[in-house]
Amino acid sequence: MTAQTFGTGASSDRTMHWHGINWAQCYREVRRLQARIVKATQAGNHGKVKALQWLLTHSFSGKALAVKRVTENQGRRTPGVDGITWSTPKSKLAAVLSLKRRGYRPRPLRRIYIPKANGTKTRPLGIPCMVDRAQQALYLLALEPVAETTADPNSYGFRSARSTADAIEQCFRALARDSSASWILEADIRSCFDEISHDWLIAHIPMDKAILRGWLKAGYLHNQILHSTEAGTPQGGIISPTLMNMTLDGLERMLRAKYCSGRTHPLKVNIVRYADDFVITGVTREALTDVVRPMVERFLAERGLSLSPEKTRITHIDDGFEFLGMNVRKYGGKLLIKPARANVQRFLRKLRQTVKVSASVRQDQLIRKLNPLLRGWANYYRHVVSKHIFQAVGHAVWQCLWNWARRRHPNKGAGWVRRKYFRTVGAQHWVFGTETGTTLSSGEPELLKLYDIAGTPIRRHRKLKATANPFDPQWERYFEDRLGLAMLDSLKGRKQLIRLWLDQARSCPVCQQMITKSSGWSLCHVIRKIDGGKDTPGNLVMLHSECRRNVRALGLSVVKPARSDGLCKARAECGETRMLRSKGAAAP
């Protein structure tokens, strides 16, 4: 294996190994170009933006990161119409070297249909070939800085560092006061991804027009029949959400220009958008019906879109409305945001079905199935008024598990069943848990227990600043602080992991990128347990999951030096070849 240094130009002809790529340098080079694109966009220098985009899409660093993204996501094993996937280091490196604009022609998408949330309708989904996914990921690296710089301030769907919690918090700010608007236009765009005008996209999206036209006109293959596409973005494509967002950007600016004059805001028209779902507030029903809605419809018509009659309605805040799985309503003048009743019932049905199909599995296996569901659902709703609902869900889960345990032992008494499946932990006497067989340092067996959803703390979400741009270097410290706080919150109560994360300067020693709650992480032993290593902090290093897989796949060892340099470095050794990943240093 040979590690080599490279810049932003075309890839070298020298032979290299996929695992020998200096990922830290790749991220730095792409980040530098993206920052320059942001600066050129802010200055209105469209020619420079185009030139910088060309540099990024023709750079080795951009191509390597594009292939890395499409070969590490959840759909990496799902092929397109050509049946090809990139699963080996050799095929990944070959893919990087083969990504070229000249001679590239997108292939049709493989069309499948997935059920919608209501269970009665299906949603079309297109699966591009691996090479098309990589090309889209590559051009997205150059387009996303422009999209973030020109985006509407209160657009939150499919955007870096933004979430549904930000959108809900903005709803609270727009509606919570006594003087806030009382009427809400709930809007939903009909078949947004499928009906966007191709002519509008080609004329207004600032990227390579020939490449974009090829993706839009590629068509799709269903039941061995090729269908053409006359409108819409490539569903299932990596770049499609960004194209959709850029299509809808400008709606908020149009409304503000119409209804906001300096500090005066008589009609109190505010918009909060998440992807193609949005709500608009207004003082009166007539203002939303006669003025705002026609403006929105004209804006959408220029882009080939229209509002869905079934899902678009105007409601009063005292009657409440549902947005992103939340029920937003005023009770006696006080705004409360709660989990929507339909979402609670849907979640309970999913839990009960999971328990029902697990009638014969071991208790520890059932707990490992349920914990991610409970924790994920609780984390989604822990920023709103959810305490009573969490308690009700926790009681429903207990009833379900108690029935599961009793059915397994119909000839045993309730006391025997309780002692077998439930434990006492502190002041809690009905904890569904079991010993795993692992002994802790204190000499006691480790207890695997069900996540306590009723004990989830309710904390108000700190909304992201509307003008924050993750690609602008001026905001870099702001985003790092937010990611750090989120990571510390996820590690709360695990002091050893927090100390380990801080000792590593909060970054992965292999790729030098920040370890965050969203990126995920894995612990790697400096001395493997099979060689006598222990689970002590001095023998552990925190890596990204994919970086850990790469280290283990090559049979490498990780060396953790002393903390005196302030940054944990990882040295991987394989035979006579060494890869050193240190901040600001290229691979030797």
Pick from 162-176, 228-242, 335-349, 521-535: least confident: 521-535
| Model confidence band, residue 7 (pLDDT cutoffs 50, 70, 90) | very low
Strand arrangement, sheet containing 225-227? 122-127, 109-115, 220-222, 225-227
How many other CB atoms are found less than 10 A from the CB of residue 12?
13
How many other CB atoms are found less than 10 A from the CB of residue 50?
15
Mean pLDDT on 360-366: 93
Of 556 and 59, the one with more pLDDT: 59
Per-residue model confidence (pLDDT) at position 531 = 65
**Between the ranges 56-60, 112-116, 495-499, 562-566, where is the mean pLDDT highest?**
56-60
Per-residue model confidence (pLDDT) at position 262 = 58
Q: What are the structural domain ranges in the chain? A: 341-449, 473-562
How many other CB atoms are found less than 10 A from the CB of residue 570?
26
How many other CB atoms are found less than 10 A from the CB of residue 585?
13
Per-residue model confidence (pLDDT) at position 583 = 32
Q: Parallel, antiparallel, or unpaired: how do β-strands 326-331 and 321-323 relate?
A: antiparallel
* Cβ atoms of 37 and 142 closer than 8 Å: yes
| Model confidence band, residue 116 (pLDDT cutoffs 50, 70, 90) | confident
Of 490 and 31, the one with more pLDDT: 31
What are the residues whose beta carbons fall under 8 Å from the beta carbon of 314, sequence distance 6 or more? 183, 184, 185, 186, 285, 288, 289
The span from the CA of 378 to the CA of 371, in Å, is 10
pLDDT at 91 > cutoff 90 = yes
- Mean pLDDT across the chain, nearest whole number? 85
| Model confidence band, residue 483 (pLDDT cutoffs 50, 70, 90) | confident
Per-residue model confidence (pLDDT) at position 428 = 86
CA nearest 587: which of 570, 565, 575, 568? 570
CA nearest 175: which of 277, 280, 276, 252? 280
Mean pLDDT on 478-488: 85
User: Which residue reads 């560092």 in tokens?
Assistant: 161
Per-residue model confidence (pLDDT) at position 18 = 87
pLDDT at 69 > cutoff 60 = yes
**Between the ranges 14-18, 52-56, 514-518, 578-582, where is the mean pLDDT highest?**
52-56
Q: What is the pLDDT of residues 391-443, one digit of tens each?
A: 999 999 999 999 999 999 999 999 999 999 999 888 888 999 998 866 555 55
CA nearest 271: which of 181, 190, 338? 181
The encoded tokens of residue 39 equal 């600066």
Q: What is the pLDDT of residues 253-309, one digit of tens each?
A: 999 888 876 566 677 899 999 999 999 999 999 999 999 999 999 999 999 999 988
| Model confidence band, residue 565 (pLDDT cutoffs 50, 70, 90) | very low
Of 127 and 581, the one with more pLDDT: 127
Mean pLDDT on 350-364: 93
Listing DSSP states for 173-217 in one string gives: HHHSSTTS--EEEEEEBTTHHHH-BHHHHHHHS-S-HHHHHHHHT
User: Which residue reads 């947004």 in tokens?
Assistant: 192
The span from the CA of 16 to the CA of 320, in Å, is 60
| Model confidence band, residue 534 (pLDDT cutoffs 50, 70, 90) | low
Per-residue model confidence (pLDDT) at position 435 = 87
| Model confidence band, residue 108 (pLDDT cutoffs 50, 70, 90) | very high
Per-residue model confidence (pLDDT) at position 558 = 64
Pick from 52-61, 341-350, 479-488: least confident: 479-488
Q: For the chain, what percent of residues have pLDDT higher than 70?
A: 87
* CA geometry: angle 343, 379, 400, nearest 5 deg: 55
Extended strands (E) in 420-559: 422-425, 428-439, 445-449, 522-525, 540-543, 557-559
Mean pLDDT on 378-403: 96
What are the residues whose beta carbons fall under 8 Å from the beta carbon of 525, sequence distance 6 or more? 533, 535, 539, 540, 558
The span from the CA of 64 to the CA of 71, in Å, is 11
Q: What is the pLDDT of residues 18-31, one digit of tens each?
A: 888 888 899 999 99
Pick from 118-122, 136-140, 225-229, 396-400: least confident: 118-122
* Cβ atoms of 373 and 350 closer than 8 Å: yes
Pick from 57-66, 121-130, 153-162, 169-178: least confident: 121-130
CA nearest 343: which of 168, 185, 117? 117
